[in-house]
Amino acid sequence: MRQATIICRKEFKSYFVSPIAYIVISIFLLVTGWFFFSVFFLYDQASLRNFFQLLPLIFSFVVPAITMRLFSEELNVGSYEILLTLPVTFWDVVLGKFLAGVGFLVCMLIPTISYPITVSFLGQLDWGPVLGGYMGAILLGGAFTAIGLFASSLTRNQITSFIIAVAICFALTVIDRTLFFLPRSALGFISYLGTDFHFQNISKGIVDSRDILYFLSVSFVALYGARLVMQEKS
Amino acid sequence: MIHVEGLTKYYGDLCAVNQIDLDIPKGEIMGLLGPNGAGKTTTLRMLTGFLRPTSGSIRVKEFTAQEEPLEIKKLIGYLPESAPLYQDMLVYDYLSYVADIRQLKKDRKQSRIEQLADLCGIREVMHRPIGELSKGYKQRVGLAHSMMSDPEILIVDEATSGLDPNQIVEIRDIIRRIGKEKTVILSTHILSEAEATCDRIVIINRGKIVADGSTETLIRSASGDFFIHSSLQGAQFDSVKSELGSIDGVLDIAPRKKDREEDDALDIKITCRADGDIREKIYRKIKETDWVLLELHRETKTLENIFRELTREN
């Protein structure tokens, strides 16, 4: 575990060395800010529901941009070989990189706290759903980070890894909106698979252990997949 | 120190390393030689635990690669070919990161980094990004990285490829200095380098060991018969063959294609038994006749000859 912390610290630092971090954060704030406030006054409600409703869709494009370099860059430069000949286990590497990605995601969400603060000046804001929303955002972001990490472990090309990750995350997000194609019997099961369904529950302020478990298990499956890919490469 | 038995690696159907047995005692500098694609890097990658062997066993000290790969990794410092380090990290940050991963104590870390900076001559680039360094400096940072935990075994893949002659000498000096106390394995396809730095040379070709020993023993064992080249003026081949053929130790005499066209001298190649030098006898024999001796020299086999003989494509 100590090794994972060291890898995490190093990965986290290296996010802020390159300009990508600042670009991604800026784009994220621009997009969420625009979509949220452009319709905020039309609804005339002091809530962040709109913001959180947008998150799964925006995350499925932004998070892969954060995670795409985690493995691909190492595979491309060859530093992967050095990393694996240091006294670390596969899990140390996977967890270290995952936690660094989640850490970065949290950094990206911190400036958005200005949204609820702004809103609370404008009207009576219920902080419960906001707190739930942020918790859900971190869980959702974690699951997407794990998926992105898995995609990144598959290829040495960052663009390819980005596209794979976007495809998976996007599919998980919109899967329950395609339900009308499907037979009734499969409805419940399919909607349970989608991230949106679980995320909207949490962001309404309803913290259900099933939803938390869902995000944790998606993260775990993806991380385990990344570990298997690493093992396969050796 | 390192004990390898029946090491084999397949990439799909391609057999990269085929049944290699090796025993490397402590304090030896071993050179792994071979043409491109012979399996050098694959062998090293398996020793360092980066690749899993298809079959065979690796034991380092009392640890086996199957059961305690982490313990083995702690004992080995490894520098892959062309030092693939993180491009955007500063040299100091990188070394400090490696020190943390290698679990150096806090109070030892700083002094160790400084010590390595001096040993590898990277003090002046400590605060520059690795990606901006020249190849030689990158290689040195790589060496510093691999020696961070003062490992008992140092494995270096193509340490000097792409460096200028001055840098090559410097890197070699560093490796030789380390090799006084540590076990060093280095792969190279530059023969003079192996000759200059290694105590022992292992030549592999198509994934198999074809020669193993010190430079001298390799040259001695591989040579067998050796050749004497001579050039005689005013001689006929038949009479030369009968005269010189009678000398004890001469196995065969053959005419040789002439290098020069201007003179009418006869060039011959004499195959001799490996034991003893018979040039003196040949000279005395020629002195008795009225031939004029223009040239007499022995072909000494170098590591290069042996290497080419052993790794030639048939």
The answer, yes or no, to whether residue A216 has pLDDT greater than 60, is yes
**Residue range A189-200: mean pLDDT, rounded:** 81
SS3 at position B218: helix
Q: Which of A9, A11, A14, A85 is the best residue to mutate to test the B interface, defined by the most B CB atoms within 10 Å of its own CB?
A: A85
Rounded Cα distance between B292 and B234, Å, is 7
Domain assignment present for A105: yes
Question: A–B: how many Cβ contacts below 8 A?
Answer: 60
**pLDDT for the residue numbered A140:** 92
Higher-confidence residue of A233 and A58: namely A58
**Residue range A217-225: mean pLDDT, rounded:** 94
* Residue pLDDT, tens place only, A14-55: 888 888 889 989 999 999 988 888 888 887 777 788 888 888
Residues of chain B that touch chain A, judged by Cβ-Cβ distance less than 8 Å: 45, 48-52, 70, 73-74, 76, 78, 80, 82, 84-89, 93, 97-98, 100-103, 145
* Residue pLDDT, tens place only, A34-45: 888 888 888 777
Rounded Cα distance between A118 and A33, Å, is 12
**pLDDT for the residue numbered B263:** 66
Adjacency order of strands within the sheet including B29-33: B76-79, B153-157, B183-188, B29-33, B200-205, B208-213
Q: How many CA atoms lie within 13 A of B270 on its CB side?
A: 31
Strand partners, B57: B5
CA distance, residue A10 to nearest chain B CA (Å): 7
Strand partners, B4: B22, B58
User: Which residues of chain A lie closer than 8 angstroms to B74, CB-CB?
Assistant: 87
Domain range holding A128? 2-31+49-233
Q: Can you say how many angstroms the Cα of residue B82 is from the centroid of all Cα atoms in its chain?
A: 17
- Compute the Cα dihedral for B15, B70, B181, B118 and give only its sign: positive
* Residue pLDDT, tens place only, A142-160: 999 999 999 999 999 999 9
Tokens representing residue B166 in the block: 């001055």
**Minimum-distance CB partner of B97 among A10, A81, A234:** A10
Digitized pLDDT (tens) for each residue of chain B, 314 residues in all: 888 888 888 888 888 888 888 888 888 888 888 888 888 888 899 988 888 888 888 888 888 888 888 888 888 999 988 888 998 889 999 999 999 999 888 888 899 999 888 888 888 999 999 989 888 888 889 988 988 888 889 998 887 777 788 878 888 888 888 888 889 998 887 777 788 788 888 888 888 888 888 877 776 666 566 778 888 888 788 888 888 888 887 878 888 776 666 667 788 888 877 667 778 888 888 888 888 888 888 776 667 777 777 777 65
Question: Do B45 and A81 make contact, defined as CB atoms within 8 angstroms?
Answer: yes
Counting the structural domains of chain A, the total is 1
Q: Which of B47, B101, B128 is the best residue to mutate to test the A interface, defined by the most A CB atoms within 10 Å of its own CB?
A: B101
Q: Distances from the Cα of B235 to the Cαs of A109, B253, B295, in angstroms?
A: 96, 14, 13
Tokens representing residue B116 in the block: 């390595």
Please name the residue of chain A whose CA is at the shortest distance from the CA of residue B95.
Answer: A10
**pLDDT for the residue numbered B313:** 63
Domain assignment present for A42: no
What pTM did the predictor assign?
A: 0.83
Tell me the ipTM for this assembly: 0.85
**pLDDT for the residue numbered B92:** 92
Rounded Cα distance between B127 and B144, Å, is 15
- Non-local CB neighbours of A188 within 8 Å, separated by 6+ positions: none
Amino acid letter for position B253: I
Backbone angles phi, psi at B299, to 5 degrees: -85, 115
**pLDDT for the residue numbered B171:** 81
Residue A19 contacts B where some CB pair is shorter than 8 Å: no
What secondary structure, in 3-state letters, does chain A show? CHHHHHHHHHHHHHHHHCCHHHHHHHHHHHHHHHHHHHHHHHHCCCCCHHHHHHHHHHHHHHHHHHHHHHHHHHHHHCHHHHHHHCCCCHHHHHHHHHHHHHHHHHHHHHHHHHHHHHHHHHCCCCHHHHHHHHHHHHHHHHHHHHHHHHHHHHCCCHHHHHHHHHHHHHHHHHHHHCHHHCCHHHHHHHHHHCHHHHHHHHHCCCCCHHHHHHHHHHHHHHHHHHHHHHHHHC
**Minimum-distance CB partner of A77 among B76, B87, B98:** B87
Residue A104 — very low, low, confident or very high, per pLDDT cuts 50/70/90? Answer: very high
Question: Do A78 and B49 make contact, defined as CB atoms within 8 angstroms?
Answer: no
Q: Which of B73, B75, B127 is the best residue to mutate to test the A interface, defined by the most A CB atoms within 10 Å of its own CB?
A: B73
Amino acid letter for position B50: F
CB burial class (10 A; 0-12, 13-18, 19+) of residue B13?
exposed
Residue A14 contacts B where some CB pair is shorter than 8 Å: yes
**Residue range A6-15: mean pLDDT, rounded:** 91
Domain assignment present for A9: yes
* Residue pLDDT, tens place only, A156-191: 999 999 999 999 999 988 887 777 777 777 777 777
User: Which residues of chain B lie closer than 8 angstroms to A7, CB-CB?
Assistant: 101
Nearest to B4 by CA among B244, B212, B224: B212
Q: Which of A9, A13, A74, A81 is the best residue to mutate to test the B interface, defined by the most B CB atoms within 10 Å of its own CB?
A: A81
Please name the residue of chain B whose CA is at the shortest distance from the CA of residue A233.
Answer: B51
**pLDDT for the residue numbered B220:** 67
**pLDDT for the residue numbered B96:** 92
**pLDDT for the residue numbered B179:** 81
Question: Do B49 and A85 make contact, defined as CB atoms within 8 angstroms?
Answer: yes
Backbone angles phi, psi at B225, to 5 degrees: -80, 155
**pLDDT for the residue numbered B268:** 85
Q: How many CB atoms lie within 10 A of CB A13?
A: 13
Tokens representing residue B279 in the block: 């040039």
Percent of chain A with pLDDT over 70: 100
Q: Hey, what domains does chain B have and what are their CATH numbers?
A: 2-213 (3.40.50.300), 225-301 (3.30.70.1340)
**pLDDT for the residue numbered B292:** 85
Domain assignment present for A36: no
Q: How many CB atoms lie within 10 A of CB B201?
A: 24
Domain assignment present for A39: no
Which residues of A, range 51-80, sit inside 8 Å of B by Cβ?
77-79
